[in-house]
């Protein structure tokens, strides 16, 4: 009876061990899509976050709506998109650099917020 009990414990231990060995690693699978929607009025963000959080490797889409024609510029990644009054434009890229990157209205030289990319 004692032996059967011991065997059972060993079997359970082996199965638990196998579960952790065979379990797919979440980090390898994750390449998330992150979409942010920002609305700019009077050279300020009136809707949406001023800090955009992402993880390295994420596919980031920033949808932008502005009341005036301007240029949206994301530093570090050095990506720009022309803002067209009252229509939505978007900036799409893979967040392959980690760190904090400010974005601004390029012509006005006004900082709107920042993209924060956590290292993987």
Which residues fall within 8 angstroms of residue 105, CB to CB, at 6 or more apart?
Answer: 40, 43, 70, 71, 72, 73, 83, 112
Q: Which of 40, 73, 112, 113 binds Cu ion (CB under 5 A)?
A: 73
Closest CA to 43 of 104, 114, 116: 104
Q: Does 65 bind Cu ion (CB under 5 A)?
A: no
CB of residue 65 vs Cu ion: minimum separation in angstroms?
A: 19
Pick between residue 65 and residue 73 the one whose CB is nearest to Cu ion.
Answer: 73
CB of residue 100 vs Cu ion: minimum separation in angstroms?
A: 15
By DSSP bridging, strand 88-94 and strand 79-83 are unpaired
Distance CA 104, CA 43 (A): 9
Which residues inside 3-32 make contact with Cu ion, applying CB under 5 A? none
Q: Which stretch binds Cu ion (CB under 5 A): 19-27, 48-56, 86-94, 96-104?
A: 96-104
Contacting residues toward Cu ion, per CB under 5 A? 73, 104, 106
């Amino acid at each position: 009876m004692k032996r059967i009990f011991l065997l059972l414990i060993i079997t359970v231990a082996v199965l638990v061990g196998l579960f952790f060995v065979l379990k797919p690693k979440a980090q390898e699978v994750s390449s998330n899509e992150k979409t942010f929607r920002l609305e700019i009025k009077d050279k300020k963000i009136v809707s949406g976050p001023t800090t955009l959080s992402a993880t390295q490797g994420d596919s980031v889409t920033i949808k932008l709506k502005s009341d005036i024609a301007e240029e949206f510029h994301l530093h570090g990644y050095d990506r720009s998109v022309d803002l067209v009054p009252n229509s939505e434009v978007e900036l799409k890229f893979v967040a392959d650099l980690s760190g904090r990157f400010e974005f601004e209205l390029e012509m006005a030289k006004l900082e709107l917020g920042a993209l924060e990319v956590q290292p993987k």
